Protein backbone atom coordinates (compact mmCIF):
# COMPACT_ATOMS: atom_id res chain seq x y z
CA UNK A 1 0.00 0.00 0.00
CA UNK A 2 2.77 2.32 0.96
CA UNK A 3 4.69 1.77 -2.25
CA UNK A 4 1.56 2.28 -4.27
CA UNK A 5 1.02 5.63 -2.58
CA UNK A 6 4.58 6.57 -3.32
CA UNK A 7 4.26 5.61 -6.93
CA UNK A 8 1.10 7.61 -7.36
CA UNK A 9 2.78 10.56 -5.74
CA UNK A 10 5.77 10.39 -8.02
CA UNK A 11 3.43 9.97 -10.95
CA UNK A 12 1.72 13.16 -9.90
CA UNK A 13 4.98 15.01 -9.72
CA UNK A 14 6.00 13.78 -13.12
CA UNK A 15 2.68 14.82 -14.51
CA UNK A 16 3.03 18.27 -13.03
CA UNK A 17 6.51 18.68 -14.44
CA UNK A 18 5.52 17.58 -17.90
CA UNK A 19 2.47 19.83 -17.82
CA UNK A 20 4.64 22.72 -16.68
CA UNK A 21 6.98 22.11 -19.61
CA UNK A 22 4.11 22.14 -22.08
CA UNK A 23 2.52 25.29 -20.66
CA UNK A 24 5.90 26.91 -20.17
CA UNK A 25 7.04 26.40 -23.75
CA UNK A 26 3.74 27.71 -25.08
CA UNK A 27 3.72 30.79 -22.87
CA UNK A 28 7.39 31.50 -23.46
CA UNK A 29 6.90 31.15 -27.20
CA UNK A 30 3.94 33.47 -27.13
CA UNK A 31 5.69 36.11 -25.03
CA UNK A 32 8.90 36.06 -27.09
CA UNK A 33 7.07 36.23 -30.41
CA UNK A 34 4.75 38.97 -29.16
CA UNK A 35 7.71 41.07 -28.07
CA UNK A 36 9.42 40.47 -31.39
CA UNK A 37 6.28 41.43 -33.29
CA UNK A 38 5.86 44.68 -31.39
CA UNK A 39 9.55 45.47 -31.84
CA UNK A 40 9.27 44.75 -35.56
CA UNK A 41 11.98 42.11 -35.41
CA UNK A 42 9.98 39.42 -37.12
CA UNK A 43 9.57 38.92 -40.85
CA UNK A 44 6.21 39.07 -42.59
CA UNK A 45 6.76 35.50 -43.60
CA UNK A 46 6.93 34.27 -40.02
CA UNK A 47 4.24 36.62 -38.80
CA UNK A 48 1.83 35.25 -41.38
CA UNK A 49 2.36 31.74 -40.07
CA UNK A 50 1.66 32.41 -36.41
CA UNK A 51 -2.03 31.53 -36.51
CA UNK A 52 -1.58 28.37 -38.62
CA UNK A 53 1.18 27.29 -36.23
CA UNK A 54 -1.22 27.64 -33.29
CA UNK A 55 -3.86 25.66 -35.21
CA UNK A 56 -1.38 22.93 -36.08
CA UNK A 57 -0.15 22.71 -32.49
CA UNK A 58 -3.73 22.20 -31.31
CA UNK A 59 -4.27 19.60 -34.01
CA UNK A 60 -1.06 17.76 -33.17
CA UNK A 61 -1.81 17.74 -29.43
CA UNK A 62 -5.37 16.54 -30.01
CA UNK A 63 -4.20 13.83 -32.40
CA UNK A 64 -1.58 12.80 -29.88
CA UNK A 65 -4.42 12.19 -27.44
CA UNK A 66 -5.90 9.69 -29.89
CA UNK A 67 -2.70 8.16 -31.24
CA UNK A 68 -0.39 8.38 -28.25
CA UNK A 69 -2.61 8.18 -25.21
CA UNK A 70 -5.48 6.10 -26.53
CA UNK A 71 -3.18 4.14 -28.85
CA UNK A 72 -5.47 4.15 -31.87
CA UNK A 73 -3.88 5.20 -35.14
CA UNK A 74 -6.25 7.73 -36.68
CA UNK A 75 -5.62 8.81 -40.28
CA UNK A 76 -8.65 11.01 -40.63
CA UNK A 77 -7.88 13.94 -38.35
CA UNK A 78 -8.15 16.43 -41.21
CA UNK A 79 -11.79 15.39 -41.58
CA UNK A 80 -12.65 16.76 -38.14
CA UNK A 81 -10.58 19.83 -38.87
CA UNK A 82 -12.66 20.30 -42.05
CA UNK A 83 -15.97 20.01 -40.21
CA UNK A 84 -14.80 22.53 -37.63
CA UNK A 85 -13.51 24.82 -40.38
CA UNK A 86 -16.71 24.91 -42.41
CA UNK A 87 -19.18 25.00 -39.51
CA UNK A 88 -17.01 27.72 -37.97
CA UNK A 89 -17.12 29.75 -41.17
CA UNK A 90 -20.90 29.37 -41.41
CA UNK A 91 -21.29 30.42 -37.77
CA UNK A 92 -19.03 33.42 -38.26
CA UNK A 93 -21.10 34.49 -41.28
CA UNK A 94 -24.40 33.96 -39.47
CA UNK A 95 -23.31 36.07 -36.53
CA UNK A 96 -21.45 38.68 -38.54
CA UNK A 97 -23.65 41.45 -37.18
CA UNK A 98 -22.44 40.90 -33.61
CA UNK A 99 -20.34 43.78 -32.30
CA UNK A 100 -16.96 42.38 -31.23
CA UNK A 101 -14.57 40.40 -33.39
CA UNK A 102 -13.59 38.09 -30.56
CA UNK A 103 -17.22 37.30 -29.71
CA UNK A 104 -17.72 36.06 -33.28
CA UNK A 105 -14.46 34.16 -33.18
CA UNK A 106 -15.32 32.43 -29.91
CA UNK A 107 -18.77 31.49 -31.23
CA UNK A 108 -17.25 30.16 -34.46
CA UNK A 109 -14.65 28.11 -32.61
CA UNK A 110 -17.25 26.68 -30.23
CA UNK A 111 -19.60 25.81 -33.09
CA UNK A 112 -16.69 24.22 -34.96
CA UNK A 113 -15.83 22.13 -31.92
CA UNK A 114 -19.46 21.16 -31.39
CA UNK A 115 -20.02 19.92 -34.93
CA UNK A 116 -16.70 18.10 -35.05
CA UNK A 117 -17.59 16.49 -31.73
CA UNK A 118 -20.94 15.29 -33.08
CA UNK A 119 -19.14 13.87 -36.11
CA UNK A 120 -16.63 12.28 -33.73
CA UNK A 121 -19.43 10.46 -31.92
CA UNK A 122 -21.08 9.32 -35.15
CA UNK A 123 -17.80 8.08 -36.58
CA UNK A 124 -16.42 6.78 -33.29
CA UNK A 125 -19.26 4.35 -32.66
CA UNK A 126 -18.52 2.08 -35.62
CA UNK A 127 -14.81 2.82 -35.89
CA UNK A 128 -13.78 2.11 -32.31
CA UNK A 129 -15.13 -1.43 -32.56
CA UNK A 130 -12.15 -2.11 -34.77
CA UNK A 131 -8.54 -2.41 -33.77
CA UNK A 132 -5.11 -1.75 -35.19
CA UNK A 133 -4.72 -1.54 -38.95
CA UNK A 134 -8.43 -1.91 -39.61
CA UNK A 135 -9.19 1.06 -37.44
CA UNK A 136 -6.53 3.12 -39.21
CA UNK A 137 -7.96 2.30 -42.63
CA UNK A 138 -11.51 3.08 -41.60
CA UNK A 139 -10.54 6.45 -40.10
CA UNK A 140 -8.78 7.20 -43.38
CA UNK A 141 -11.98 6.33 -45.23
CA UNK A 142 -14.09 8.55 -42.96
CA UNK A 143 -11.69 11.44 -43.45
CA UNK A 144 -12.13 11.12 -47.21
CA UNK A 145 -15.90 10.72 -46.88
CA UNK A 146 -16.12 13.97 -44.92
CA UNK A 147 -14.13 15.81 -47.57
CA UNK A 148 -16.20 14.38 -50.41
CA UNK A 149 -19.45 15.23 -48.67
CA UNK A 150 -18.22 18.79 -48.15
CA UNK A 151 -17.49 18.89 -51.89
CA UNK A 152 -21.22 18.72 -52.66
CA UNK A 153 -22.56 20.93 -49.89
CA UNK A 154 -23.90 24.28 -50.96
CA UNK A 155 -24.98 26.73 -48.30
CA UNK A 156 -26.56 30.10 -48.99
CA UNK A 157 -27.75 32.82 -46.66
CA UNK A 158 -30.38 35.47 -47.20
CA UNK A 159 -32.78 37.34 -44.94
CA UNK A 160 -35.02 34.28 -44.68
CA UNK A 161 -32.22 32.23 -43.23
CA UNK A 162 -29.83 29.47 -44.19
CA UNK A 163 -30.39 27.27 -47.22
CA UNK A 164 -28.55 24.00 -47.57
CA UNK A 165 -28.50 21.81 -50.65
CA UNK A 166 -26.39 19.27 -52.47
CA UNK A 167 -26.38 21.23 -55.71
CA UNK A 168 -26.35 24.79 -56.91
CA UNK A 169 -29.88 24.39 -58.31
CA UNK A 170 -31.28 23.64 -54.86
CA UNK A 171 -30.52 27.13 -53.58
CA UNK A 172 -32.78 30.05 -54.36
CA UNK A 173 -31.46 33.20 -52.80
CA UNK A 174 -33.02 36.63 -52.79
CA UNK A 175 -31.19 39.71 -54.05
CA UNK A 176 -29.46 40.35 -50.72
CA UNK A 177 -28.50 36.73 -50.28
CA UNK A 178 -25.04 35.32 -50.77
CA UNK A 179 -23.43 31.92 -50.91
CA UNK A 180 -21.38 30.80 -47.91
CA UNK A 181 -20.29 27.37 -49.07
CA UNK A 182 -19.96 26.67 -52.74
CA UNK A 183 -19.27 22.97 -53.08
CA UNK A 184 -15.74 22.34 -54.29
CA UNK A 185 -14.96 26.06 -54.26
CA UNK A 186 -15.57 26.02 -50.53
CA UNK A 187 -16.10 29.28 -48.71
CA UNK A 188 -14.89 32.49 -50.30
CA UNK A 189 -14.95 36.02 -48.99
CA UNK A 190 -14.59 34.90 -45.37
CA UNK A 191 -13.95 37.75 -42.95
CA UNK A 192 -10.66 37.09 -41.23
CA UNK A 193 -11.18 36.87 -37.48
CA UNK A 194 -8.31 34.80 -36.14
CA UNK A 195 -5.51 36.46 -34.24
CA UNK A 196 -2.29 35.16 -32.76
CA UNK A 197 -3.61 35.82 -29.27
CA UNK A 198 -6.73 33.75 -29.98
CA UNK A 199 -4.50 31.01 -31.34
CA UNK A 200 -2.41 31.12 -28.20
CA UNK A 201 -5.51 30.84 -26.02
CA UNK A 202 -6.74 27.89 -28.07
CA UNK A 203 -3.41 26.11 -27.65
CA UNK A 204 -3.57 26.73 -23.90
CA UNK A 205 -7.15 25.45 -23.80
CA UNK A 206 -6.17 22.35 -25.78
CA UNK A 207 -3.26 21.68 -23.42
CA UNK A 208 -5.48 22.22 -20.42
CA UNK A 209 -8.08 19.74 -21.66
CA UNK A 210 -5.62 17.11 -22.87
CA UNK A 211 -3.23 17.23 -19.92
CA UNK A 212 -6.04 17.15 -17.39
CA UNK A 213 -7.74 14.31 -19.19
CA UNK A 214 -4.50 12.32 -19.22
CA UNK A 215 -4.06 12.79 -15.50
CA UNK A 216 -7.66 12.04 -14.61
CA UNK A 217 -9.22 8.74 -13.66
CA UNK A 218 -10.48 8.56 -17.24
CA UNK A 219 -7.01 9.18 -18.62
CA UNK A 220 -5.48 6.38 -16.60
CA UNK A 221 -8.26 4.09 -17.76
CA UNK A 222 -7.60 5.10 -21.38
CA UNK A 223 -3.91 4.33 -21.02
CA UNK A 224 -4.66 1.06 -19.26
CA UNK A 225 -6.90 0.15 -22.18
CA UNK A 226 -4.09 0.97 -24.58
CA UNK A 227 -1.50 -1.07 -22.69
CA UNK A 228 -3.58 -4.16 -22.14
CA UNK A 229 -7.13 -4.19 -23.25
CA UNK A 230 -7.99 -7.58 -21.79
CA UNK A 231 -6.56 -6.77 -18.39
CA UNK A 232 -8.34 -3.43 -18.34
CA UNK A 233 -11.65 -4.96 -19.31
CA UNK A 234 -11.23 -7.66 -16.71
CA UNK A 235 -11.34 -5.04 -13.96
CA UNK A 236 -14.56 -3.68 -15.33
CA UNK A 237 -13.47 -0.81 -17.56
CA UNK A 238 -15.58 -0.32 -20.68
CA UNK A 239 -13.28 -0.21 -23.69
CA UNK A 240 -15.70 1.61 -25.96
CA UNK A 241 -16.52 4.27 -23.39
CA UNK A 242 -12.97 5.25 -22.64
CA UNK A 243 -11.77 5.06 -26.21
CA UNK A 244 -14.75 7.19 -27.23
CA UNK A 245 -13.82 9.79 -24.63
CA UNK A 246 -10.36 10.21 -26.13
CA UNK A 247 -11.58 10.05 -29.73
CA UNK A 248 -14.38 12.57 -29.31
CA UNK A 249 -12.23 14.95 -27.24
CA UNK A 250 -9.63 14.78 -30.01
CA UNK A 251 -12.32 15.48 -32.61
CA UNK A 252 -13.72 18.47 -30.70
CA UNK A 253 -10.28 20.03 -30.28
CA UNK A 254 -9.47 19.39 -33.94
CA UNK A 255 -12.73 21.07 -34.92
CA UNK A 256 -11.87 24.12 -32.84
CA UNK A 257 -8.44 24.30 -34.42
CA UNK A 258 -10.05 23.92 -37.84
CA UNK A 259 -12.31 26.91 -37.20
CA UNK A 260 -9.33 29.00 -36.09
CA UNK A 261 -7.41 27.93 -39.19
CA UNK A 262 -10.25 28.65 -41.62
CA UNK A 263 -10.96 32.08 -40.17
CA UNK A 264 -7.35 33.07 -40.77
CA UNK A 265 -7.85 32.99 -44.55
CA UNK A 266 -10.36 34.65 -46.80
CA UNK A 267 -11.06 31.36 -48.51
CA UNK A 268 -11.12 27.72 -47.53
CA UNK A 269 -11.79 24.77 -49.86
CA UNK A 270 -12.53 21.13 -48.98
CA UNK A 271 -9.50 19.96 -50.97
CA UNK A 272 -7.29 21.46 -48.27
CA UNK A 273 -8.44 18.77 -45.83
CA UNK A 274 -7.35 15.76 -47.80
CA UNK A 275 -5.38 12.72 -46.76
CA UNK A 276 -2.11 14.67 -47.03
CA UNK A 277 -3.17 17.05 -44.29
CA UNK A 278 -4.05 14.14 -41.99
CA UNK A 279 -0.62 12.68 -42.60
CA UNK A 280 1.00 16.07 -42.12
CA UNK A 281 -0.50 16.27 -38.62
CA UNK A 282 0.46 12.68 -37.92
CA UNK A 283 4.05 13.51 -38.86
CA UNK A 284 4.06 16.22 -36.16
CA UNK A 285 2.93 13.64 -33.63
CA UNK A 286 5.37 10.96 -34.68
CA UNK A 287 8.36 13.26 -34.93
CA UNK A 288 7.54 14.95 -31.64
CA UNK A 289 7.26 11.57 -29.99
CA UNK A 290 4.08 9.52 -29.77
CA UNK A 291 2.51 10.24 -26.41
CA UNK A 292 4.72 13.25 -25.80
CA UNK A 293 2.68 16.45 -25.63
CA UNK A 294 5.61 18.86 -25.37
CA UNK A 295 7.21 17.15 -28.35
CA UNK A 296 4.07 17.65 -30.41
CA UNK A 297 4.11 21.37 -29.66
CA UNK A 298 7.71 21.79 -30.73
CA UNK A 299 7.53 19.61 -33.81
CA UNK A 300 4.30 21.21 -35.04
CA UNK A 301 5.87 24.66 -34.76
CA UNK A 302 9.20 23.70 -36.32
CA UNK A 303 7.76 21.61 -39.13
CA UNK A 304 5.29 24.33 -40.10
CA UNK A 305 8.02 26.93 -40.35
CA UNK A 306 10.54 24.63 -42.01
CA UNK A 307 9.09 24.47 -45.56
CA UNK A 308 8.85 28.27 -45.62
CA UNK A 309 12.36 28.68 -44.26
CA UNK A 310 13.58 26.50 -47.11
CA UNK A 311 12.17 28.72 -49.87
CA UNK A 312 15.68 29.74 -50.95
CA UNK A 313 16.12 26.29 -52.42
CA UNK A 314 13.32 26.86 -54.92
CA UNK A 315 13.21 23.59 -56.89
CA UNK A 316 14.85 21.51 -54.21
CA UNK A 317 12.71 22.85 -51.37
CA UNK A 318 10.46 19.87 -50.77
CA UNK A 319 13.35 17.49 -51.34
CA UNK A 320 15.34 19.30 -48.65
CA UNK A 321 12.31 19.18 -46.38
CA UNK A 322 12.08 15.42 -46.79
CA UNK A 323 15.80 15.02 -46.13
CA UNK A 324 15.54 17.10 -42.96
CA UNK A 325 12.67 14.89 -41.79
CA UNK A 326 14.73 11.77 -42.40
CA UNK A 327 17.75 13.22 -40.63
CA UNK A 328 15.67 14.16 -37.60
CA UNK A 329 14.24 10.65 -37.49
CA UNK A 330 17.66 9.05 -37.81
CA UNK A 331 19.30 11.41 -35.35
CA UNK A 332 16.75 10.72 -32.66
CA UNK A 333 17.30 6.97 -33.08
CA UNK A 334 21.08 6.99 -33.38
CA UNK A 335 22.74 4.88 -30.62
CA UNK A 336 25.86 7.09 -30.46
CA UNK A 337 23.76 10.21 -30.10
CA UNK A 338 21.62 8.44 -27.57
CA UNK A 339 24.73 7.65 -25.53
CA UNK A 340 25.80 11.27 -25.82
CA UNK A 341 22.45 12.51 -24.63
CA UNK A 342 22.50 9.95 -21.83
CA UNK A 343 25.82 11.34 -20.66
CA UNK A 344 24.55 14.89 -20.93
CA UNK A 345 21.39 13.94 -19.11
CA UNK A 346 23.40 12.93 -16.05
CA UNK A 347 24.66 16.47 -15.74
CA UNK A 348 21.26 17.90 -16.39
CA UNK A 349 19.55 15.56 -14.00
CA UNK A 350 20.40 17.49 -10.89
CA UNK A 351 19.37 20.84 -12.27
CA UNK A 352 16.46 20.28 -14.57
CA UNK A 353 13.10 18.73 -14.04
CA UNK A 354 11.88 15.96 -16.31
CA UNK A 355 9.23 15.54 -18.84
CA UNK A 356 7.24 12.38 -18.78
CA UNK A 357 6.75 10.29 -21.85
CA UNK A 358 3.36 8.70 -21.91
CA UNK A 359 4.65 5.65 -23.67
CA UNK A 360 3.77 2.03 -23.62
CA UNK A 361 5.85 0.68 -20.70
CA UNK A 362 6.72 -2.44 -22.65
CA UNK A 363 8.41 -0.37 -25.34
CA UNK A 364 10.16 1.79 -22.80
CA UNK A 365 11.59 -1.28 -21.16
CA UNK A 366 12.96 -2.51 -24.46
CA UNK A 367 14.71 0.76 -25.03
CA UNK A 368 16.09 0.77 -21.53
CA UNK A 369 17.50 -2.68 -22.12
CA UNK A 370 19.20 -1.46 -25.26
CA UNK A 371 20.99 1.49 -23.74
CA UNK A 372 21.90 0.18 -20.32
Partner 1 sequence: MKTVRAHGVKGMLKRALAVVMAGTMVLSMAACGSEAEPAAESGSATVKIGGIGPLTGSAAVYGNAVYHGAQIAVDEINAKDPNFQFELNFQDDENDAEKAVNAYQKLKDWGVQLLLGTVTTTPCVAVSAETFADRVFELTPSASSTDVTKGKDNVFQLCFTDPNQGTTAAKYLVDNNLGEKIAVIYNNADAYSTGIYNAFTAELKKSGKDVVYTGTFSSDDNADFSVQLTGAQSAGADLVFMPIYYTPASMILAQASKMNYAPTFFGVDGMDGILAMEGFNKDLAENLMLMTPFNPWSKDEKVAAFVKTYEEKYGETPNQFAADAYDVVYAFYAACQAKGVTAETPASDACEAFVEYFTTEAKFDGLTGKGMTWGTNGEVSKDPVVCVIQGGIYVDR
Shortest Cβ 307–partner 1 spacing (Å): 8
Shortest Cβ 39–partner 1 spacing (Å): 16
CB nearer to partner 1: give 103 or 318.
Answer: 318
DSSP 75: S
Shortest Cβ 247–partner 1 spacing (Å): 25
CB nearer to partner 1: give 138 or 268.
Answer: 268
Q: What distance in Å separates the CA atoms of residue 127 and residue 120, rounded to the nearest whole number?
A: 10
Chain-centroid distance of CA 53 in Å reads: 11
Q: Which residues pair with 158 in a beta bridge?
A: 161
CB nearer to partner 1: give 114 or 140.
Answer: 140
Shortest Cβ 303–partner 1 spacing (Å): 8
Q: What distance in Å separates the CA atoms of residue 89 and residue 267, rounded to the nearest whole number?
A: 10
Shortest Cβ 240–partner 1 spacing (Å): 29
CA-nearest of 270, 369, 283 to 329 is 283
Long-range contacts of 300-306 (CB under 8 A, 24+ apart): 300/53, 300/56, 300/57, 300/59, 300/60, 300/61, 301/29, 301/53, 301/56, 301/57, 304/49, 304/52, 304/53, 304/56, 305/46, 305/49, 305/53
Shortest Cβ 212–partner 1 spacing (Å): 20
CB nearer to partner 1: give 63 or 262.
Answer: 262
**Contact (CB, 8 A) for 43 and 314:** no
Shortest Cβ 101–partner 1 spacing (Å): 15
CB nearer to partner 1: give 45 or 240.
Answer: 45
Q: What distance in Å separates the CA atoms of residue 45 and residue 37, rounded to the nearest whole number?
A: 12
CB nearer to partner 1: give 253 or 297.
Answer: 297
CB nearer to partner 1: give 127 or 269.
Answer: 269
CB nearer to partner 1: give 87 or 292.
Answer: 292
Shortest Cβ 153–partner 1 spacing (Å): 12
Q: What distance in Å separates the CA atoms of residue 329 and residue 154, rounded to the nearest whole number?
A: 43
Q: Is 260 exposed, middle or buried (0-12, 13-18, 19+ CB in 10 A)?
A: buried
Name the helix (H) or strand (E) containing 187.
strand 187-188
Q: What distance in Å separates the CA atoms of residue 313 and residue 340, rounded to the nearest whole number?
A: 32
Amino acid sequence: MNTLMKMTKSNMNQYKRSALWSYGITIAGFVIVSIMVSAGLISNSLQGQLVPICAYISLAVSLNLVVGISGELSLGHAGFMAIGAFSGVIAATLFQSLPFLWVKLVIAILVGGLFAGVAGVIIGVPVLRLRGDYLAIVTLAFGEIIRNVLNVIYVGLDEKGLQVSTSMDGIHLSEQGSMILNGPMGATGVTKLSTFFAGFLLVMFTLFVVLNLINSKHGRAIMAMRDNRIAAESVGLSATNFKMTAFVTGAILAGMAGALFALNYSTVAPVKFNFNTSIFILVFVVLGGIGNITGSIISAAVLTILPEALRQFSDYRMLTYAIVLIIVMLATNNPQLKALTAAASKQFKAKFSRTRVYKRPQKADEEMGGTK
